[in-house]
Structure 1
Amino acid sequence: MTHKPQAVLWDMDGTLVDTEPYWMAAETTLVESYGGTWSHEQAMQLVGNGLDDSARILRDAGVDMEPDAIVARLTDEVRAALATQGVPFRPGARELLRDLRAVGIRTALVTMSLGRMARSVVDLIGFDAFDHVVPGDEVTRPKPHPDPYLRAAELLEIDIADTLVIEDSPTGIRAGITSGAVTLGVPHMVPLDDAGAHALWPSLDGRSASDVVDLFASVRSLQGATR
């Protein structure tokens, strides 16, 4: 097995971009439009969730809409916020992406957001950042199932074991680990200390492709030594 990843698979919300405040604002507006209340604690339950699961939680909070309609409305509101308020990239994320591309390591975006949302973000990055995008509406089972990451490896025509996943939520970490990828946690809204990631970095700021290669190599070498 190679000691250099053939690809890095990125989560989007909270990892590449800090869109969680946009989602939380859209959720609050929606719940309040049906006479309910939406606390920060309730919003935190949705971080990293598949959109259908989130829609069911919002229905339980009093939103009298079909799940697909909830997902569509939230997506449109967050896309509008991105267009008017800008894309808040996470520290170091865009720079690391650019460095990975420069050294020939392929990349894919693996998100539970809808395809039109994901591609809106990709279009605003400013360079050709991803070989493939795997959004939530193009997989049967969302994170924490491994399917989204396995699909990304399939599209890239590589073994999932030759990839490194970057995630910010316990749900995403479980998906990455279960898929068989080396999984890096970069906490943002929720702690990841007990999520099971192979490594935790406090931030991507100042990180380079060589750091990613070193992490991948150290994890795979350790795994080889303990088999």
Structure 2
Amino acid sequence: MTSSVSVADTRMAQGPVLQAVLLDMDGTLVDTEGIWWTAEAAVFADLGHVLDEVHREVVVGGPMARSVGHLIEVTGATVPLAELMVAINTRFEELIARGAPLMPGARRLLTELAAHGVPTALVSASHRRTIEVMLRSLGAENFAFTLAGDEIGRTKPHPDPYLLAAARLGAHPASCVVVEDTLTGVAAGEAAGCRVVAVPSVAPIGPAPGRTVVSSLDELDVSFLRSLVSVPV
């Protein structure tokens, strides 16, 4: 007889175990938040607008349409949203063409996750084109699955990206650890029912039930990540 119980549910019945680690890209694994801001500022400067630094925390970590839409609103730019998004993506890709710098501890963490056979997904609000460029630095072999913001109807802060990633890896969300650097990403991971590790980049992130805040990926290893899913919220 064929069982109707999923592999993920069976694992949960056997006790909480780490089934997958779901990682954000920009600002979490790759030091690109400043590069994105540089690209945005350059494109708006070409249009005669100077971006105030106060908007940097507003646009970090969110879907590109929301971020660029905010900048259009505050500057009064008249260029269509879609055109500006293409221009900013193009400028960003030019800036990272020679490779993107990884965040401290990123390479070690990815190598350790692979060595321990922990399924790992890259879950980003960036477009697929940008992710493919980034994978030259990150190594596509380090991820069982990658998801781009333009491949899903609702991206962060909605839970959909993390729910889809967990499902694709055959994992229960409560047995997944999400690693994020912004409140937008943290909100998505928590809404999906995952344990969340926040590594704040531009804006501060406070602790909360089911959330762990660290200062660097250097503080994370497989043993620590496993411990997060074995402790009740």
TM-score scaled to structure 1, two decimals?
0.90
1:78 alignment counterpart = 92
Give per-residue Cα distances to partners, 1:173-204, cap 9 Å, x unaligned.
11000001111111111100156651111111
Instruction: Tell whether 2:167 aligns with 1:154.
Output: yes
Match of 1:52 among 61, 65, 70: 65
Count of matched residue pairs: 219
Name the aligned partner's letter for residue 81 of structure 1: L
The 8 Å contact of residues 5 and 163 in structure 1, kept in 2 or not, is answered as: yes
Q: Post-superposition, which runs of at least 4 consecutive aligned residues in structure 1 deviate over 6 A?
A: none
Instruction: Give the Cα separation in 1 of the matches to 2:182 and 2:219.
Output: 21
Return 95-104 or 34-43, whichever deviates more: 34-43
The reply to whether residue 112 of structure 1 matches residue 125 of structure 2 is yes
The letter for the 2-side match of 1:55 is V
Supply the distance in 1 between the matched residues of 2:140 and 2:86 (Cα, whole angstroms).
Answer: 27
Change in 2 beyond 3 A, CA 1:125/1:145: same
Q: Structure 1 pair 183/151, CA: closer, same or farther in 2 (3 Å)?
A: same
Q: Which has the larger radius of gyration?
A: 2
Which structure 2 residue ranges, 5 or more long, are not aligned? Answer: 1-11
1:142 aligns with 2:178: no
Give the root-mean-square deviation of aligned CA atoms. Answer: 1.7
SS at match of 1:83: coil
Structure 1 residue 78: Cα displacement = 1.4
SS in 2 for 1:128: helix
60-69 or 157-166, larger mean C-alpha shift: 60-69
> Residue 80 of structure 1 aligns to which amino acid in structure 2?
E
Unaligned residue ranges in structure 1 (runs of 5+):
none
SS at match of 2:84: helix
- Alpha-carbon distance change, 5 to 178 in structure 1, aligned in 2, over 3 angstroms: same
Q: Aligned-pair distance for 1:59?
A: 1.7
2:29 matched residue in structure 1: 16
1:12–1:111 Cα contact (<8 Å) kept: yes
Query: How far off its partner does 1:63 sit?
Result: 3.0
SS across alignment from 1:8: strand
Match of 1:66 in 2: 80
- Whether the aligned pair in 1 keeps the contact of 2:157 and 2:188 (CA below 8 Å) is yes
Q: The residue matched to 1:187 in structure 2 has which SS?
A: coil
- Normalised to the residue count of structure 2, the TM-score between the two structures is 0.88
Match of 2:193 among 168, 180, 199: 180
Q: Which residue of 2 aligns with 1:122?
A: 135
Distance 1:178 1:188, change over 3 A: same
Matched, 1:164 2:164: no
Q: Which residue in 1 is equivalent to 2:46?
A: 33
In the alignment, the residues of structure 1 paired with residue 112 and residue 207 of structure 2 have an alpha-carbon distance, to the nearest angstrom, of: 30
